[in-house]
Amino acid sequence: MSFLDRLRTLLRADAHGVVDALEDQALLLRQHLRDAAAELDRKRALLSGLDAEERDLEAERRRLAGEVRALDEDVALALATGREDLARFTLKRLLPQRRRDRRLETRLAELRRERDELRPVLAEQEAAYAELERRVRGHLARLDQEAAGGSPLLFDDPVVTDEEVEIELLRRRGAEPASTTGDAPPAEGDA
């Protein structure tokens, strides 16, 4: 085998190694993206479960309130007619219902606190996931281009952010930045 044949074989093997490395990197990126999406789905399901449990507990409290009201009326009636034995009997049924209502109220407060803590975390992570997905898709596109034999892109991050677009719009308009409240500058001709 001549030197040139060996060099050609070596270059082919090296090119296959580069493609394999790019494919491994792409697989890892896709897996990390899937893991992040699965975690978001898990948190959305948890939030949905908390909402459903809250609805169920509120319905149970409404039902229980009706029973407590009826038992209170029965105790009042028994006492009004001088039947303390019936009042005791009814109180034995009433007191556990009141305890159950307090436990339901405590659990509802816990659910609401969990939900109120989870919602902002989920919103923040959804925004971070959207940004991550955008960046991974851009990186995968570059990897695909490199694997296809195209030249690599000259820039590390070809994706333009919303803020960069806003700054460029301001430059082109020659306008001053809008106030921090998000008010847009008045259009020409508005007074």
Would the pLDDT of 177 be above 60? no
Q: How high is the pLDDT of residue 10?
A: 59
Tell me, yes or no, whether 110 lies in a domain: yes
Tell me, yes or no, whether 26 lies in a domain: no
Average pLDDT, whole number, for the chain? 81
In tens, the pLDDT along 15-55 reads 555 555 556 777 888 888 889 899 999 999 999 999 999 99
Tell me, yes or no, whether 168 lies in a domain: no
Tell me, yes or no, whether 78 lies in a domain: yes
The string of DSSP codes covering the chain is: --HHHHHHHHHHHHHHHHHHHHHHHHHHHHHHHHHHHHHHHHHHHHHHHHHHHHHHHHHHHHHHHHHHHHHHHHHHHHHHTT-HHHHHHHHHHHHHHHHHHHHHHHHHHHHHHHHHHHHHHHHHHHHHHHHHHHHHHHHHHHHHHHHTTPPPPSSS--PPPHHHHHHHHHHHHTPPPPPTT-PPPPPTT--
Q: What is the reported pTM?
A: 0.57
In tens, the pLDDT along 81-105 reads 999 999 999 999 999 999 999 999 9
Tell me, yes or no, whether 124 lies in a domain: no
Q: How high is the pLDDT of residue 59?
A: 96
Q: How many domains does the chain have?
A: 1
Which domain covers residue 85, as residue numbers?
Answer: 40-117
Tell me, yes or no, whether 158 lies in a domain: no
Tell me, yes or no, whether 79 lies in a domain: yes
6 or 135, greater pLDDT: 135
Would the pLDDT of 6 be above 70? no
Tell me, yes or no, whether 129 lies in a domain: no
Confidence of residue 154 (pLDDT cuts 50, 70, 90): very low
Percent of the chain with pLDDT over 70: 72
